[in-house]
Amino acid sequence: MHIEIDEISKQFGTTAALNPVSLSIPSGALVALLGPSGSGKTTLLRILGGLEFPTSGRVRFDGQDATGLTVQERRAGFVFQSYALFRHMTVFDNIAYGLNARPRASRPTKAEIVRRVTKLLELIQLPDIGPRYPSQLSGGQRQRVALARALAIEPRMLLLDEPFGALDAKVRKELRQGLRDIHDTTGLTTVFVTHDQEEAMQLADLVVVMSMGRIEQIGKPQDIQARPATPFVREFIAA
The answer to whether 158 and 125 have CB atoms below 8 angstroms apart is: no
Between CA 52 and CA 60 the distance in angstroms is 15
The answer to whether 209 and 195 have CB atoms below 8 angstroms apart is: no
Which residues, including other chains, have CB under 8 Å from residue 8's CB and lie 6 or more apart? 18, 20, 21, 22, 44, 47, 54, 56, 57, 58, 59
Among 45, 46, 51, which Cα is nearest to 71's? 51
CB of 143 to other proteins, least distance (A): 13
Under the binding rule (CB under 8 A), the answer on residue 71 touching other proteins is: yes
Part of the chain binding other proteins (CB under 8 A), chosen from 22-30, 130-138, 189-197, 217-225: 130-138
Under the binding rule (CB under 8 A), the answer on residue 165 touching other proteins is: no
Part of the chain binding other proteins (CB under 8 A), chosen from 27-35, 68-76, 166-174, 221-229: 68-76
Under the binding rule (CB under 8 A), the answer on residue 50 touching other proteins is: yes
CB of 87 to other proteins, least distance (A): 4
CB of 121 to other proteins, least distance (A): 17
Q: Which of 37, 135, 185, 187 binds other proteins (CB under 8 A)?
A: 135
CB of 228 to other proteins, least distance (A): 34
Among 156, 227, 155, 237, which Cα is nearest to 194's? 237
Under the binding rule (CB under 8 A), the answer on residue 119 touching other proteins is: no
CB of 23 to other proteins, least distance (A): 21
User: What track of x and - describes contact with other proteins for positions 95 through 114 (by CB under 8 A)?
Assistant: --xx--xx------------
Nearer to other proteins, 152 or 237 (CB): 152
Nearer to other proteins, 43 or 217 (CB): 43
Nearer to other proteins, 182 or 209 (CB): 182
Residues at the contact surface with other proteins, assessed by CB under 8 A: 49-51, 71-72, 74-78, 80-82, 84-88, 97-98, 101-102, 133-136, 149-150, 152-153
